[in-house]
A and B are shown apart, each in its own frame.
Chain A
Amino acid sequence: MFNEIKQRFATDDVEVKRNDLYKVRIKYSRLFELMHMLRDEYDYKTLNAITCTDWIEEGHFALTYMLTTEDRKYTFMIQTMINREDAQAKTLSHEYKQAQIMERDLHEMYGIDFPGNENLKELSLESWVHTPPLRREFDTLEFVTNHLIFREGREDNVDTKAETKRLRAEKKAQKSKDEEVKDGK
């Protein structure tokens, strides 16, 4: 199987991660060809998940498709890179029914467009107008500080770092005192 993939798709990036997990990195243009080959010739019939990782430094999203064999024993990870700016990928929802909901999730969280997917409405957010939350440039702490009211700390609330320092110094002083007493004896 690996040799065929290497030859047909001109890639060396095939690795065995575990005895039941393989991974291949491939160009986006050949992605669907490989998926069809795995499905038709090697029994990888089920699409288990689509995940996306944001590599903001390198300027792309890594889309990973998990294909599983019919007996659910082996998993093939197919990874491909798509451009971060106006990210777009072909929809799989016509071949795999479950892809519809996974793509809807990715569309909401990363803003990736899947032309051909009929329903890309908001899934878990409601009336969200800001950057899609899982993109790296979205800073959740900044968002929270700007938009929400926090409870003020207790009156006896102390700066933990300063307090730790103080406690440590106190402990040290106590220890040297103890030693002095010991030595004195």
Chain B
Amino acid sequence: MEHNGFLLEQKTLEGDLNSDTSHKNSVDFLMNWFRKRSIFVLAYGTGCGAIEMPPTFTSRYDAERLGIRGAATPRQADVIIVSGYCSYKTLRRIIRTYEQMSNPKYILALGSCTVNGGMYWDSYNTIKKLEDYLPVDMYVNGCMPRPESILEGFIALQKEIGEGKASSWKKYEENYEFYRKNQEAILGKKVEPSYDADWYLYDGGL
């Protein structure tokens, strides 16, 4: 049957999300299906790309129809969006937040700044390549990415989750030494989280 208008858009967006056959057994399939259809995104605007998040999640682009919605705390979130350039100070908080999230967890990186530094390639306070410090599942390029691109990024991520391919959190656990080494190279030995009750006392606050 020919689709047009909204139905066509929905069909194009979701594409072959529903027709993946790569699962090993039906339990895997079911688990992945649940995961991809309920993605909770942590409300942490780390960079300028955060300004396109409200349009994505509100009535015009309406990401919620795809099962993507906001979550207030890291413990309840599945996806953290690193929306653009990432200064050292923010990177420390992102690492802390990311480690607090429960598995399975995914990272969506927005903007050219996370890919290669973008406009700030010669800035002394931003990192140039996010995947050296944290495992990235999906990059969405652009400066800044439009809501449509963010949605497409989410769909691509959902597809990977559905096929069971998105497993960056496992990669992070397996290659923890590598990531930790890179993090310490720019942040110093005191990389959060230190998980100490009074860490802020000797750290001078957040």
Contact = CB atoms under 8 A, between A and B. Distances in A.
A and B form one complex: yes
Interface in A55-106: none
Interface string B111-148: 00001110001111101110010000000000000000
A150 B129 contact: yes
B117 A150 contact: yes
B46 to A, nearest CB: 15
27 contacts: A124-B89, A125-B89, A125-B125, A126-B88, A126-B89, A126-B92, A127-B188, A133-B124, A138-B124, A140-B122, A140-B124, A143-B124, A144-B121, A144-B123, A144-B124, A144-B128, A147-B186, A148-B127, A149-B129, A149-B132, A150-B116, A150-B128, A150-B129, A151-B115, A151-B116, A151-B128, A151-B129
A151 to B, nearest CB: 4
B82 to A, nearest CB: 15
Given A133-B124, A149-B129, 17 more contacts: A121-B204, A124-B89, A127-B187, A127-B190, A138-B124, A140-B123, A143-B124, A144-B121, A144-B123, A147-B185, A147-B186, A148-B186, A150-B116, A150-B128, A151-B116, A151-B117, A151-B128
Contacts of B175: none
Contact of B182 (A121, A143, A149, A151): A149
Contacts of A126: 88-89, 92
Interface in B66-93: 88-89, 92
A145 to B, nearest CB: 9
Nearest to A121: B204
Contacts of A124: 89
A141 interface: yes
Contacts, number: 43
Q: Which 3 A-B pairs have the closest CB atoms?
A: A151-B116, A126-B89, A140-B124
Interface of B: 88-89, 92, 115-117, 121-125, 127-129, 132, 182, 185-188, 190, 204
Main secondary structure of the interface of A (DSSP, over half): loop
Interface string A105-127: 00000000000000001001111
A160 B111 CA distance: 23
A151 B88 CA distance: 18
Contacts of A140: 122-124
Nearest to B206: A126
Contacts of A150: 116-117, 121, 128-129
A148 B185 CA distance: 9
Nearest to B127: A148
A127 B187 CA distance: 8
B16 to A, nearest CB: 28
Contacts of A133: 124-125
Nearest to B120: A144
A140 B116 CA distance: 16
Q: Which of B124, B125, B132 gathers most chain A CB within 10 Å?
A: B124
A157 B114 CA distance: 19
